[in-house]
Amino acid sequence: MFTQVLWWMENILLSYLLIRGVQQGLWRRYPFFYSYIGYVLVESLLRYVAYMAYPHFYRILYWNTQLFSVALSFFLVLEIYNAILSQYPGAAKIARGGLLIVILFALSRLWIIKFFLIGVDVYDTPAMLERDLRLAQIISLAIILSTLVYYRVPIGKNTKGLVLGYGLYLGTAVGILAIHAFISADLGVWWGNSIQIASLIALLVWSFSLSSYCPNPPPPEESRLSEHYEVVATLTSEAISQATRYLGRAIRP
Amino acid sequence: MITVIVFVLIGTITAAFFLYWALNSSPPRKSETSKETDFRDPLSTLSLLRLEPLPRSLMERVFSVEDWEFVERTAPKAVAERFKSERTALALDWITTIKSRVVTLMNIYRRVARQEANLTFSGEGMLFLRYAGFLFYCKVLGALLSVLGPFRVRQMAGNAMAAAEMLSDRYATILSVVKIERLAEFAEDSRAS
């Protein structure tokens, strides 16, 4: 009964998000996000049909659709990156550098596994694979958020909701997936319920923050800094170094 | 089992981090001071940013070692202790002042750098490390001052003043290349933070 309630709530919120997105024209501004939401709704209905009519087929369907959903959600991270940093080329460049490091790290890890751990099945269960992919998303999102905070990039309600909802979902999902991968249990009731509760939290945040269009504040007009960037960067760097040195001398008796 | 604990911890920290950020990030504000203040005057701008140059003569007197020696020689122990603790508080204030100047300088820098496509990843990384090192240094120095007292670190006043003057000079240079209309926004942000 509880599972049914969660399932219906999830579908109602997904439908609400899609309807509001179309009504408010938000789907044009966040196409990847609404494609993802649309896919999750279709996936949820498909799973329900499979669960009721073909229970043996459910597990296969679940993991295949789920891993596709995870792959699709990388575009959601890209959407968040674009929504936050597209108007701030400097901050975007730094975030790209950080993301590149994450990608290189992930690829080198795969390379090490492929060439040095031949014959070792690293991912015993699909839950482990999903857990690691979600972890990569957490790191990517953390880099974007850190850049946003460091450079004090102002954002609107829509973007803030996107980040918060997905961040909460990823945090909860990684914990649940780790537990699931460890106990290697079949898809029991606790599993379905816990994942659905994580989804519901994200959907509630998104439903609230994406009920209408609230754009990011426009970036201030171009400063003259571009002409003197290197000078200002050097001055700032020197100023901090000198302040440190001055304070350093102070501790000498 | 360790892997599970690590991932559950990562998940919990992630959720807490995003929630904390959402609850503590202030909504964007519209600058209202730009119409009221003339930001073409560097001194009034520095004053608004609480960066006005500090009077050297005043601080030399406040940190005078002669004063301490005189009080230690002539006053009762309780008075001398009180004198020392107040000097320590002043010294700590100096660190806070210098720290807040560097923080403001960085705030201005970051706000203009975020739109600068020519910045380099390595350059920003170095600057960030320097900044983080400076903040850490301030913490260590503050702790040393609290433990040892200001007279063990008696060069403090002179160095702090030199640092303050140097930073004011840097501000003036940086402000001269930042578009003047945007100072109102910086000032408001600086006061809010």
Q: What is the pLDDT of residues A123-174, one digit of tens each?
A: 667 777 888 888 889 999 999 999 999 988 888 899 999 999 999 999 998 8
**Residue B34: its pLDDT value, please?**
40
Residue A243 pLDDT greater than 80, yes or no: no
Contacts of A172 in chain B (CB under 8 A): 11, 15
What pLDDT does A159 receive? 92
Determine the distance in angstroms separating the CA of B71 from the nearest CA of chain A, rounded to an integer.
21
Place of tokens 């203009």: B112
A contact residues 114-173, partner B, Cβ 8 Å cutoff? 131, 135, 138, 142, 145, 149-156, 160, 163-164, 167-168, 170-173
Candidate from B10, B109, B114 with C-beta closest to A91: B114
To test the contact with chain A by mutation, choose from B26, B98, B115 the residue with the greatest count of A C-beta atoms within 10 A, namely B115
A38 contacts chain B (CB < 8 A): no
B129 inside 8 A of chain A by CB: no
Q: Which pair of structure tokens corresponds to residue B107?
A: 């705030």
Query: What is the rounded CA–CA span in Å between residue A63 and residue B123?
Result: 44
Question: Which A-chain residues 230-249 have CB contacts (< 8 A) with chain B?
Answer: 230-233, 235-244, 246-249
Alpha helices in chain A (DSSP H): 2-23, 26-29, 31-53, 55-85, 89-116, 126-150, 157-183, 189-209, 225-250
- pLDDT, tens digit only, all 193 positions of chain B: 788 888 889 989 999 999 999 988 866 554 433 433 444 454 555 554 555 545 566 566 656 677 778 888 888 889 888 888 887 887 788 778 777 877 877 777 787 778 777 778 887 888 888 788 778 877 877 887 788 776 665 565 556 566 656 665 665 666 665 555 555 555 555 555 5
- Mean residue pLDDT across chain A: 83
CB contact under 8 A, A151 and B114: yes
CB A163, CB A143: distance < 8 Å: no
Q: Give contacts of B135 with chain A, Cβ < 8 Å.
A: none
Residue A216 main-chain phi, psi, to 5 deg = -70, 145
**With contacts defined as CB-CB under 8 Å, which chain B residues touch A88?**
114-115
Of A104, A95, A99, A47, the residue nearest A74 (C-alpha): A99
Q: Among residues A157, A122, A93, which one has the least CA distance to residue B122?
A: A93
More confident site: A91 or B168: A91
Eight-class DSSP state of A122: S
- Residues B152, A177: C-beta atoms closer than 8 Å: no
Question: How high is the pLDDT of residue B159?
Answer: 62
Q: Residue B164 and residue B97: Cα distance in Å, rounded?
A: 8
pLDDT of res. B180: 52
In B, which residues are within 8 Å of A223 by CB distance? 112, 115, 178-179, 182
**The two structure tokens encoding residue B36:** 């009221």
B19 and A178 within 8 Å at the Cβ level: the answer is: no
Q: What percent of chain A has pLDDT over 90?
A: 28
> Which has more confidence, A201 or B43?
A201
Give the list of residues 6+ apart from residue A175 with CB closer than 8 angstroms, or none: B7, B8, B10, B11, B12
Confidence at residue A142, expressed as pLDDT on a 0 to 100 scale = 93
Least Cα separation, residue B151 to chain A (angstroms): 9
In terms of Cα–Cα distance, which of A76, A212, A60 is closest to A141?
A76
Q: What pLDDT, on the 0 to 100 scale, is given for residue B75? A: 85
Nearest by CB to residue A167, choosing from B14, B154, B179, is B14
- pLDDT band per the 50, 70, 90 thresholds, residue A253: very low
- Most confident range, picked from A40-44, A60-64, A248-252: A40-44
Distance in angstroms (rounded) separating the CA atoms of residues A105 and A109: 6
pLDDT at A165: 93
Residue B125 has a pLDDT of 83
In degrees, to the nearest 5, what angle opens at C-alpha B53 toward C-alphas B51 and B58? 125
Separation in Å, CA of B45 to nearest CA in chain A: 17
Number of inter-chain CB pairs under 8 A, A vs B: 214
* CA A175 – CA B119 distance, rounded (Å): 37
**Between chains, do A175 and B12 touch, taking CB under 8 Å as contact?**
yes
Cα(B35)–Cα(B139) distance, integer angstroms:
38
Put simply, the answer to whether A90 touches B114 (Cβ < 8 Å) is: yes
Which of B10, B170, B178 lies closest to A223 in CB terms?
A: B178
**Disruptive mutation site among A96, A247, A252 for chain B (greatest number of B CBs within 10 Å):** A247
Nearest to B18 among A164, A233, A249 (CB): A164
Q: Could you give the ipTM of this predicted complex? A: 0.79
Which residues does chain A have within 8 Å of residue B141's beta carbon, measured at their own beta carbons?
Answer: 247, 250-251
Instruction: Answer yes or no: do A246 and B162 touch at CB < 8 A.
Output: yes
Unique residue bearing structure tokens 């599993």: A191
A20: Cα separation from own chain's centroid:
22
> How buried is residue B55: exposed, middle or buried, by Cβ count under 10 Å (0-12/13-18/19+)?
exposed
H, E, C per residue of chain B: CHHHHHHHHHHHHHHHHHHHHHHHCCCCCCCCHHHCCCCCCHHHHHHHCCCCCCCHHHHHHHCCHHHHHHHHHHCCHHHHHHHHHHHHHHHHHHHHHHHHHHHHHHHHHHHHHCCCCCCCHHHHHHHHHHHHHHHHHHHHHHHHHHHHCCCCCCCHHHHHHHHHHHHHHHHHHHHHHCCHHHHHHHHHHHHHC
